[in-house]
Amino acid sequence: DAGVIQSPRHEVTEMGQEVTLRCKPISGHDYLFWYRQTMMRGLELLIYFNNNVPIDDSGMPEDRFSAKMPNASFSTLKIQPSEPRDSAVYFCASAFSSGLYQETQYFGPGTRLLVL
């Protein structure tokens, strides 16, 4: 398996522009997570989906952030408009659930976002 795939790997944009990050989870996984990592705040969960349905978006910082999962093999995280404080590494992770428990989360390589 190719693992979790994220694109782009690096993104440099100017303040006010729209940014779209993409993720392809591991085939067969039914959970998908979006995280943001910064030096100051560490790794923070933004939102997660189960079977393509958003379950918990309490970590989404504000209305400028939105996430979708139109099918089991694709998800997007959009920032509109972007601001310099959004600069971070954004990780997508996926996991498979067995019964009541969710198994190991596998992380993608991340998207390094710089907003100027």
Partner 1 sequence: QKEVEQNSGPLSVPEGAIASLNCTYSDRGSQSFFWYRQYSGKSPELIMFIYSNGDKEDGRFTAQLNKASQYVSLLIRDSQPSDSATYLCAVRGNNRLAFGKGNQVVVIP
Q: Which residues bind partner 1 (CB under 8 A)?
A: 31, 33, 41-45, 48, 50, 55-56, 91, 101-102, 104-110
Nearer to partner 1 by Cβ, of 57 and 81: the residue is 57
How far is 41 from 97, CA to CA, in rounded Å? 28
Nearer to partner 1 by Cβ, of 15 and 43: the residue is 43
- For the chain, the DSSP string reads ----EEE-SEEEE-TT--EEEEEEPPTT--EEEEEEEETTTEEEEEEEEETTEEEE-TT--STTEEEEEEETTEEEEEESS--GGG-EEEEEEEE-EETTEE---EE---EEEEE-
Nearer to partner 1 by Cβ, of 19 and 93: the residue is 93
Compute the least distance from the CB of residue 17 to partner 1, in Å: 25
Nearer to partner 1 by Cβ, of 18 and 103: the residue is 103
Compute the least distance from the CB of residue 107 to partner 1, in Å: 4
Compute the least distance from the CB of residue 46 to partner 1, in Å: 11
